[in-house]
Amino acid sequence: MENLILTVGRQYGAGGRELAGILAKKLGVKLYDRQIVHIAAAKLGINDLSEQELLEMENEVQPLSMSFLPFHSFGTRMGGSSNEMFLSESAAIRKIAKDGPCVFLGRCADYALREEKNHFDIFVMADDDFREARGSAVYEGKSLKELDREDKKRAQYYNYYTGRTWGDPQHYDLVVNTGRGASLEQIADGLLAYIKAVRG
């Protein structure tokens, strides 16, 4: 599947990160996630914050506000409005996509690439029982409540900056439920077969 860009959004605990990694490996392309944050920060001249601090800047969106809580402190240094990080990340995603096929995990990549033709947007979800079991086994004992709290942050960020509803099926080419019994490897194979079929 030449020149294919995949974007993967996901519920926390549904296995989206692992699935994105498997897809990238099967396609023989790079997977981009947190690297986007660092590229965006470098473009904005933010070079003295840890990865955790950068991620907190990105995640701590206040509904009905024009600022991130952590970003508020750095606003002057950045010399602009609080959405500069989002805009910089979006620009980085578009630039990387133009360079060739790859997989993007999260980062509102589906929205950043909305005007590009050559991408396929996937949203990964699962039922609560499956996510709770994975939270306990894979995510250091996180409870369903903790997983939902993280998803609430993701939704606030996505909804605020895109004007869309996070997880709304109409904004994705395919929504996949990983909790139906198939392995992530099998799901990846099924996704790639489907994409090949619809792309002709």
pLDDT of 81? 41
pLDDT of 190? 96
pLDDT of 56? 52
What is the distance of C-alpha 167 from the center of its chain? 11
Below-50 pLDDT ranges, the chain: 48-49, 51, 54, 57-82
> How many Cβ atoms are within 10 Å of 56's Cβ, its own excluded?
15
Q: What are the domain boundaries of the chain? A: 5-199
E strands, 93-160, in order: 102-105, 119-125
Burial class (CB in 10 A: 0-12, 13-18, 19+), 148: middle
pLDDT per position as a tens digit, 103-119: 999 989 999 999 988 89
**Could you name the CATH architecture of 5-199?**
3-Layer(aba) Sandwich (3.40)
Q: Hey, what are 138's tokens?
A: 């894979």
